[in-house]
């Protein structure tokens, strides 16, 4: 079991490189996309609706509405394919999972901004 923990620790990102964001925040994620022999970074912007797991298995779910269709992507926090995470705006929520946003349309699906 200790050998597995050592292997897992070696694949974790450094603590200072981990982004500080929480549920309800609007984030912009830079994802490495490999097309043939070329690589590029594609941005995905949306609201963080869930975080789960710990250690190597830690993931977060981002939701956005694109051309009237809701799109959700699950990103591993420690993945080498996640190039960057920028917090665009902080959200004020009282839940740890925002799955109720799936049923809402338009302005009702917005999260209030946190006043600092």
Task: Write down the domain spans for the chain.
Answer: 2-107
105 three-class SS: coil
Give the separation between CA 41 and CA 96, rounded to whole angstroms.
29
Quickly name the fold that domain 2-107 has: SH3 type barrels. (2.30.30)
Answer whether residue 9 shows pLDDT above 80: no
pLDDT in tens, 65-106: 999 899 999 999 988 899 999 999 999 999 999 999 999 888
Tell me what pLDDT residue 57 has.
87
Distance of CA 22 to the CA centre of its chain: 9
pLDDT in tens, 26-46: 999 999 999 999 999 999 999
pLDDT greater at residue 3 or residue 93: 93
Tell me what pLDDT residue 16 has.
64
Give the separation between CA 89 and CA 25, rounded to whole angstroms.
6
pTM attached to this predicted model: 0.85
Q: Which residues contact 97 (CB under 8 A, 6 or more apart)?
A: 23, 49, 50
């Amino acid at each position: 079991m200790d050998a597995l923990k050592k292997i897992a620790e070696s694949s974790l990102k450094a603590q200072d490189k981990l982004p500080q964001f929480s549920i309800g925040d609007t984030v912009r994620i830079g994802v490495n996309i490999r097309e043939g022999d070329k690589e590029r970074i594609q941005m995905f912007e949306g609201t963080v609706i869930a975080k789960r797991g710990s250690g190597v298995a830690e993931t977060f779910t981002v939701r956005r509405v694109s051309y009237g269709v809701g799109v959700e992507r699950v990103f591993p926090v420690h993945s080498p394919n996640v190039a960057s995470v920028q917090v665009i705006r902080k959200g004020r929520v009282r839940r740890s999972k925002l799955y109720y946003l799936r049923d809402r349309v338009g302005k009702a699906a917005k999260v209030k901004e946190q006043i600092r």
